[in-house]
Structure 1
Amino acid sequence: MKVLIVFLLVFLFASGEEKGAKLEISESTYPSVKVVYDWNLQGPEAVDKALNYIRNHLKAYSEYAPLEEVEIVIVSHGAEIPVFAKQNEKVFQKTVERLKNFHDSYGIKFYVCYNAARAFGFDKEDFFPFVILTPAGVAKLAALQEEGYRLVPAIVHNFKPVKEKYGKKK
């Protein structure tokens, strides 16, 4: 009789219908990794959204893997470069604070393309101390990949109109 009850319970749990997607979590979900984010954004205003991707990346590792297992660097070589310039600190104050926080708290390195910086009229002394100037951003991307970093392109979208149209209705 006990065997029959156990069998029925196992059968009921095994045949139960799932109510949604399965969250995939295992020891291999987020392995130790080095990543380089490729920033060639439309402008400094897009940096906050790009930083949200970095935040989500760090959050995934803090919740599902040891945080020490991820190393993140960013190579900036687009129209976002003025956000790294000291002269624009007041204009982008909150964004600059976030950049500094990511650097100080998580050791994230920010490489800025010196070629692109000069195209904006900036020179070495114009940038914050947490910035590392690299002669050519695209060459740095290739060099980091050669060192074992995985490339993550930063593609920033405005989700709001899509969410309003197709997101879950309340």
Structure 2
Amino acid sequence: MKIIKSILFVLLMPWLAISPVQAEDIEKAVYHVDFADADRYSATLTSINNMLNEYENALSDYDVTIVFVGKGARFVTDAPQAGQDARLKERRTELKGRLQALNSTRNVKLAVCNNTLTGFGLSKDQLYEGVEIVPSGVVFLAQLQKAGAAYIKIQ
């Protein structure tokens, strides 16, 4: 019986040594939003949703972040000083709902550049729930890429 247990242990040892999720097994992506176009932003949200569907169907773990810089800040606040146009006013409720669903139910991280906020005269309390402020959006993008995140910008 001891021999059988030893053989089973040796055969199963490779599987016992594997952790359930290793850092390199996590799919990482960062989306860069620095534009004002509401339709382009909608396409970005659709792209993220499609990506997450694919990851979830494959039972893959993921770490997806959206970084808002410059004119892109208008998509994380209702404050008029971030800039508005007719198309954004028309679609704001829909776009806000889609973003909040990605954040709250699918764990997509949201980050906005503090330099941008300062430039627009915006404060943290004017941002949507779940939006993190980072000192510099472009530096944060570079850090995420260095950590292995794929850089994506919808054109």
Normalising by structure 1, we get a TM-score of 0.64
Aligned length, in residue pairs: 123
Report if the CA contact (8 A) 2:36-2:74 is conserved.
no
**Which one of 55, 64, 71 corresponds to residue 63 of structure 2?**
71
1:104 Cα shift? 0.7
Structure 1 residues 114-153: aligned runs within 5 Å = 114-146=114-146, 148-153=147-152
Partners of 2:113 and 2:39 in 1: how far apart?
Answer: 18
Amino acid at match of 1:150: A
1:114 Cα shift? 1.2
- Greater Cα offset, 120-129 or 35-44: 35-44
Identity of aligned residues (%): 24
The structure whose Rg is larger is: 1
Report if the CA contact (8 A) 1:40-1:154 is conserved.
no
Partners of 1:77 and 1:91 in 2: how far apart?
Answer: 20
* CA-to-aligned-CA distance 1:119-160 (integer Å, 9 cap, x gap): 2221222111211011110111122223x232322123xxxx
1:45 Cα shift? 4.4
**Which one of 36, 56, 60 corresponds to residue 50 of structure 2?**
56
* CA-to-aligned-CA distance 1:7-56 (integer Å, 9 cap, x gap): xxxxxxxxxxxxxxxxxxxxxxxx63122112222434432111011011
Which ranges of structure 2 fall in alignment gaps of 5 or more residues? Answer: 1-24, 81-88
Which ranges of structure 1 fall in alignment gaps of 5 or more residues? Answer: 1-30, 157-170
Query: Secondary structure of 1:79's partner?
Result: helix
Partners of 1:78 and 1:72 in 2: how far apart?
Answer: 20
Amino acid at match of 2:42: D
Q: CA RMSD in A?
A: 2.2
Normalising by structure 2, we get a TM-score of 0.69
Report if the CA contact (8 A) 1:81-1:117 is conserved.
yes
Partners of 2:71 and 2:38 in 1: how far apart?
Answer: 7
Moved over 4 A (4+): 88-91
Change in Cα spacing, 1:33 to 1:109, as seen in structure 2 (3 Å) is: same
